Structure 1
Amino acid sequence: MNAAAVGLSHSPLIGKNDPAPKVLARVDEAVEGARSFIAEFDPELVVLFAPDHYNGFFYREMPPFCLATEAHSVGDFGSSAGPLSVDAEAARALAEGVLDRGVDLAVSARMTVDHGFAQPLEVLFGGLDRVPVVPVFVNGVATPLGPVSRVRALGAALGRAAADLDRRVLFLGSGGLSHDPPVPVLEGAPPRVADALIEGRPPTPEQRARGEERVIQAGRDYAVGASRMIPLNPEWDNLLLDHLEQGDLPAFDSWTVQWMGEQGGGSAHEVRTWIAAFAALDALGPYEMTSRFYEPVPEWIAGFAVATARLR
């Protein structure tokens, strides 16, 4: 088989609260480079690691990892709604391969996903249904969170399982890097909020619209320094990218949950998707990072990065 990896930040504020044109042009150029890299690689299957933002996974059952044999996007923040083109046969084979390698993995026969999954498929492929995909949820928001070493183990097991498919596989990590958006927290939440986080009752269109407007306003406030959210941390973001570029993935095992939150904000744990994707590629042999882009974008409440890698 042949394999490659791409990491791409996402943000629900893209197109709604954009940075200066020069910054946007640099981001667009980096994303276009990733599109070209993917087009040249021509994947037969995409294994997409992404988080959720309490649209598909809730505290009633909150697995650390879950692989889907079928998935549907809710269409939040203007992302596409509808089914993903899940390769169910490949998904089942990968799930069995991961479990056989000693990594506990939940499986969903009808996963609900949000912009964390939809946005990379739209941005890099032009839609939800343009490429066969296996969605893999990696919890990066809901505490308690497990050690990063288990994320590496998940990625490595998926990489080795993918080798048995004998196809061109792209491992795609969606999320991060440093960011601290206004995501609700279960501990100490008012009863109404806690009930929503536990039971996962779908919001009405009006409730969803109000919630999304609050996030958009938070991005505007953050960009002008009128916010108490943790600042973006380019130094920490680039440390992550350094480890990925050097193939020094065991270095992440010393990254504690508390330290990651302090350095990168409450949602910085979305970088687990990147670590999983690069661990999957690393399991198949030494790799080289062929492109690396980073830009702190306060308007998107995101340390925004794009990276591509292939086997040597």
Structure 2
Amino acid sequence: MTAAAVGLSHSPLIGKNDPAPDVVASVEKAVDAARSFVRAFDPELVVLYAPDHYNGFFYKEMPPFCLATAAHAIGDFDSAAGPLSVDTDAANALARGALDRGIDLTVSARMTVDHGFVQPLEVLFGGIDHVPVVPVFVNGVATPLGPVSRIRALGTALGDAASALDRRVLFLGSGGLSHDPPVPVLDGAPPRVAGALIEGHPPTAEQRARGEQRVVQAGRDYAAGSTTMIPINPEWDNLVLDTFEDGRLTDVDDWTVEWMGTQGGGSAHEVRTWIAAFASLAATGPYRMTSRFYAPIPEWIAGFAVATAVEEHTT
């Protein structure tokens, strides 16, 4: 097997509440470099680690992570809707491999996914059905959250299991870095909101539109300096990126849930997707980061990053 990894932030506000043109241009340049990296690597399979934003997973059953043998995108924030090109045979093989390696993995035969999964597929591949994929949900918002060490263990197990596939495998982490968008929380929620978070009642088109507009307005308020959200934290974001670049993945075992939230905001735990992706790559052997981009972008409520990495022996 040949392996590579990409970490890519996502934001539903891209194209809806953009920063200055020079910032957009710098992001597009970094994304173009990642696209070129992916084209050159030409993956035969993508293992995609991504979060959910209460569109597919709810408190009625909330696993810490879940692998899909089939998945369908809902099309929120103008992202693509429809089935992902899930490689069911590879998904089943990876699921068995993770379970054999001591990971208590949940498996979904009908996963619902949102823009957290769709954006990286659209950005890097041009669509949700352009490359065989194994989607892996990693919970990054619904408390209580488990220890970060278990996410590293998940990535390690799936990376090790992928070695048996004898294919070019791209491990892709979607999310992060520091950001604190207006995501609803169960604790203290009014009954209607609590019911939706527990049961997962699909919103009407009108309700979804109103919710998406609230997020857009939150981005505008944040960029204007009027907000109660935890600020983007470039120092913490770069510490996270340094950890991946230096290959010091065991350091994440000491990252506590509380520390991550204090440093990076309520949705900083989307960094768990990057941890899983880089742990999967590290399971195949030493790696080196080939590109790294970072910018704090208030308009997108995100410490926005793009990074690529390959096995050390890969030219």
Give TM-score, length-normalised by structure 2: 0.99
1:188 aligns to 2:180 (yes or no):
no
Number of aligned residue pairs? 312
Q: 2 CA distance for matches of 1:72 and 1:121?
A: 13
Structure 1 CA distance for aligned equivalents of residues 267 and 65 of structure 2: 16
Q: Could you give the per-residue CA deviations for residues 227-270 of structure 1, whole angstroms, max 9, x where no partner exists?
A: 01000000000000000000000111111000100000000000
Q: How far, CA to CA, are the matches of 1:105 and 1:78 in structure 2?
A: 31
1:308 matches 2:308: yes
Matching of residue 245 in structure 1 with residue 245 in structure 2: yes
Q: CA RMSD in A?
A: 0.3
| Cα distance in 1 for residues equivalent to 2:165 and 2:97 | 10
Gapped runs of 5+ residues in structure 2? none
Aligned 1:134-145 pairs, distance under 5 A: 134-145=134-145
Report the counterpart of residue 47 of structure 2 in structure 1.
47
Equivalent position of 1:235 in the other structure: 235
* 1:35-93 Cα distance to aligned partner (Å, 9 max, x none): 00000000000000000000000000000010000000000000000000000000000
Q: Secondary structure of 1:275's match?
A: helix
Q: Superposition pairs for residues 154-173 of structure 1, below 5 Å? A: 154-173=154-173
Matches for 1:213-228 after TM superposition, within 5 Å: 213-228=213-228
Residue 75 (structure 1) aligned with residue 53 (structure 2): no
**Structure 1 residue ranges without an equivalent (≥5):** none
Aligned to 2:257: 257
In structure 1, the partner of 2:285 is 285
Task: Give per-residue Cα distances to partners, 1:147-175, cap 9 Å, x unaligned.
Answer: 11000000000000000101000000000
The answer to whether residue 120 in structure 2 is matched with residue 120 in structure 1 is yes
**1:198-228 superposed Cα distances (whole Å, 9 cap, x missing partner):** 0001000000000000000000000010101
Q: Give 2:87's aligned residue.
A: 87
Give the aligned residue type for 1:136: V
Q: Aligned partners of 1:93, 1:99: CA distance in 2, in Å?
A: 10
- Give the fraction of aligned pairs with identical amino acids, expressed as a percent: 79
SS, match of residue 165 in structure 2: coil
Partner Cα separation in structure 2 for residue 6 and residue 158 of structure 1: 16
SS of structure 2 residue aligned to 1:143: coil
- Counterpart Cα distance in 1 of 2:115 and 2:240: 23
What residue identity is the alignment partner of 2:215?
V
Question: Take 2:198 and 2:5, find their aligned partners in 1: how far apart are those partners?
Answer: 34
Shift of 1:33: 0.2
| TM-score in terms of structure 1 length | 1.00
